[in-house]
Structure 1
Amino acid sequence: MAAPLTASRLLAILKAEGVKTAEYPDWRTRGRDAATGRPFGPVHMVLNHHTAGSNSLAVVAKNGVAGLPGPLAHIHLAKSGLATMCSAGRANHAGTMARNAYDSFLNEKATHPAPSKASSTVDGNDLSYGIETENLGNGKDVYTRAQYDAWVRINAAICREYDWSAESVGCHKETSIEGKIDPKGPVEGYGTRGRFEFTPGQFRRDVAERLKHAASWSPATTAPPTTPKPPAPKPPTDTERITALEKRMSALEKRTS
């Protein structure tokens, strides 16, 4: 049984992974457990989102939106790469998950099928950690380098703690039966990589690479030096060609004399 981490333990593993953290007031006791009568856990995956707005911390941590009370995630990730702890309990972030999609993350499959309502459903808020990463979600707003690096670290920290592979890392659009599109958008860069488009597959590969190293590891930010190729030989000059020809002719004459 993968019991939810205590608030102190969750904070500790993030710090060990190199994540800059802050604590929203009362986050350790905030959750939707009592209000819904549904406890948080056991947990089996991490679910990633974009906020679809800016200045979203209070909305995610406490206020919620119309028809959806807060907290809306366990962690809010700002553009600066600062992770603010929002809840240690059940949070309204995942909604209803398609069973076929959820099972692929539960069983850490190498591929994850498109979510199908026909496969039945599960309540994702019971069983997944939620991360809301600040981005407008319009396909133009850019995830900063610091933000993406922290995002990878957060997911890796949770996977490392539970001994999960990166295939326990999901995105809302991969589980939702409601047609959610998050996360999406361009990323400023990561490691030695320049600008690229966020995709769940690439994100999991980055988490998987991080899990190969100690929690204290940081990816290189410059490309490794390449061994210079030896200069191409210069073509012989006319004088050198004539000299070589004369030597061959002289050697031939000696052999035939």
Structure 2
Amino acid sequence: MAAPMSADTFLAALRAEGLTVIEEGNWRDHNRNHMGPWGPVHGVMIHHTVTKGHDHTVNLCRTGYSGLPGPLCHGVICKQGHVHLVGYGRANHAGLGDDDVLRAVIAEEPLPPDNESNTDGNRHFYGFECENLGDGVDPWPAAQLEAIEKVSAAICRAHGWNERSVIGHLEWQPGKVDPRGFTMASMRSRISKRLGSKTPAPGLPAPKRPVVDLSELAKAARTNPAMKGTPVTYSGTRIVEAALVDAGLLSKARLDGHFGSDTVAAYAAWQRKLGYTGRDADGIPGKTSLERLGGKYGFRVVA
């Protein structure tokens, strides 16, 4: 689990990768956050716009159209290789996709076929629209392909991801064909080489990792299932619950910030997944199991 970068960190990461970045209007505050959560983030999604013309494309992606309000992405990559930032936060770019694909992206494993539309991608992916007709004929200039490579590498570098965290819309949602004109396998190969050949730019701030206090979490876990007296609440519970949801062990409907019986059962399933049995898989977080969960989903544990 990874919290989205701040807008400042996001902008710095792109520029540190050597990109020409153009800030469009109030991009930092232009989002669809009122429609649902933004984050945890797990990857980068690449699209083509099915449009022609630089100005028209940028404006469309910023404002949207009837039935689909903008922003339609976080950045527009034009044919010149410039990145136009049009929004930051939740954006209408990914739509519903396959939960098996999301789990593969999180684990940075080969992607399974996308045959379901059951998971909110707008919450979990940075999105970039690339100016192209998407007909397989419209060319992809070298500068534009290099910008896609750099954008993806910049975000992966900032979050500590590898190239498997970058996917195309066609790999996420059944029926989609974008981006068309190059393969995502070839782009991931380019991103991998870039990540392996360049160290982070000095002075680039690392994204902050959420912190979970083990003692507070264990106290909440021991108190809430029994429902004795006033339930103990702890803000870190929601962070752990979100990780359990992403791991497919807890229903999203139970993400309520209380370490209740459903969360205990989900955490016990996590402990069993790590090989614990008996009392060691009682659903009460321990240091090792919590650190393993935090290492996989991006939070830090303090005792």
User: Which structure 1 residue ranges, 5 or more long, are not aligned?
Assistant: 186-197, 218-257
Does residue 160 of the first structure (1) align with residue 157 of the second (2)? yes
Which residue number in structure 1 is paired with residue 111 of structure 2?
Answer: 112
Q: Give the distance between the partners of 1:20 and 1:121, measured in 2 at CA.
A: 36
Alignment of 1:117-156 (within 5 A): 117=116, 121-156=118-153
Q: Is the 8 A contact 2:157 2:200 kept in 1?
A: no
Which residue number in structure 2 is paired with residue 47 of structure 1?
Answer: 45
Percent identity, aligned pairs only, is 40
Q: Give the distance between the partners of 2:200 and 2:101, measured in 1 at CA.
A: 32
Q: Is the 8 A contact 1:90 1:125 kept in 2?
A: yes
Q: Is the 8 A contact 2:93 2:127 kept in 1?
A: yes
Higher helix share: 2
Q: Is the 8 A contact 1:170 1:200 kept in 2?
A: yes
Q: Give the distance between the partners of 1:112 and 1:44, measured in 2 at CA.
A: 14
Alignment of 1:1-257 (within 5 A): 1-34=1-34, 36=35, 38-54=36-52, 55-61=56-62, 63-109=63-109, 111-117=110-116, 121-177=118-174, 179-185=175-181, 198-214=182-198
Question: Match of 1:204, SS?
Answer: helix
Q: Is the 8 A contact 1:99 1:116 kept in 2?
A: no
| Matched AA of 2:81 | G
Q: Give the distance between the partners of 1:95 and 1:39, measured in 2 at CA.
A: 13
Shift in alpha-carbon separation, 1:215–1:60, aligned structure 2, 3 A: farther
Shift in alpha-carbon separation, 1:93–1:49, aligned structure 2, 3 A: same
Aligned Cα root-mean-square deviation (Å): 1.4
| Alignment TM-score, normalising by the size of structure 2 | 0.64
Deviations 1:69-92 (A, max 9, x none): 100000100000010111111000
Quote how far apart the aligned CAs of 1:23 are: 0.3
Give the paired residue count: 198
| Alignment TM-score, normalising by the size of structure 1 | 0.75
Q: Give the distance between the partners of 1:17 and 1:98, measured in 2 at CA.
A: 30
Q: Is the 8 A contact 1:18 1:216 kept in 2?
A: no
Q: Which runs of 4+ in 1 moved over 6 A?
A: none
